[in-house]
Amino acid sequence: MTIRVSDNVSAACLRCQMTMPEGKGGLEAVPQTIGRVRRIFDVNADPSDIASVLGCDSALLPLIKRMPGLRLSGAFDPFDSAVRVIVGQQISVVGATMVIGTMADRAGGLSPMAFLSMNDDDFPTPAARAGTIRALAEQVLGGEVKFLVGSDSLRGSLLAIRGIGPWTADYVSMRAASNPDVFLATDLGVKKRAQKLFGFDGEVDLRTRAEAWRPYGGYVVVHLSLND
């Protein structure tokens, strides 16, 4: 199946085109594929409700007005997305992209089964990080980790895996599980922009203020990331 998504400016919407192979199998994949595309582009969001909640914060209101209807982008493949976040810890985006490409070539894909079939020497990462990826793959296959949309339990499941800390668990929950009720209070970029906008960047103070943004803290993260 081939999927193409383009911006239909004249109709203020996205246009999704799917080219499917002949046979029953292609049609059966349509509902799941549509669901994934909707998750990537946050189609189910209610911009008016998000604006009404976040707009109550006077410091955020100018950002909301500047970019009305801002969406929280998700992931087509949650496991793939989680692995990319784990690999990207403490290395550059370029470096992480190269590592992911190498792993995909050696494993024949980025699925849990593909990673579990790899030898330790096949991972172009430190041994500890390879162990984290293996543990995640095992728990996804075993059902201990479930990337349910909007899941509140995913964070705890991820934190139970050695090598996954609070920032990684929060980011994966926000992106891979499309949970909008996540605010990255420990993210350095968020803290830097929060200092500029609110006048403080302490984690406790940020989390306290973020209580008023629930359940849309993830959208604040996006707004702050675009507010240089």
CATH of the domain at 154: 1.10.340.30
pLDDT given for residue 23 in this prediction: 65
Domain total for the chain?
2
> What is the per-residue pLDDT for 26?
65
171 and 100: one domain? yes
What pLDDT is recorded for position 11? 77
Q: Dump pLDDT digits (tens) for 138-154.
A: 999 999 999 887 677 88
pTM to 2 decimals? 0.87
pLDDT of residue 123: 87
Q: Do both 84 and 34 map to the same domain?
A: no
Helix axes 188-198, 203-210, angle to 10 degrees: 70
Neighbours of 144 (CB within 10 A): 13
- All residue ranges of the chain with pLDDT < 50 are none
SS (H, E, C) 97-165: HHHHHHHHHHHCCCCHHHHHCCCHHHCCCCHHHHHHHHHHHHHHHHCCCCCCCCCCCHHHHHHCCCCCC
Any domain includes 227 = no
Q: Are residues 158 and 88 in the same domain?
A: yes
What domain range includes position 86? 78-175
Query: Is 60 part of a structural domain of the chain?
Result: no
Determine, yes or no, domain membership for 118: yes
Kindly tell me the burial class for residue 16, based on how many C-beta atoms sit within 10 Å of its own C-beta (0-12, 13-18, 19 or more): middle
Q: Is residue 145 part of a domain?
A: yes
Position 73: which residue type?
Answer: S
Residue given tokens 């339990």 in the structure block: 153
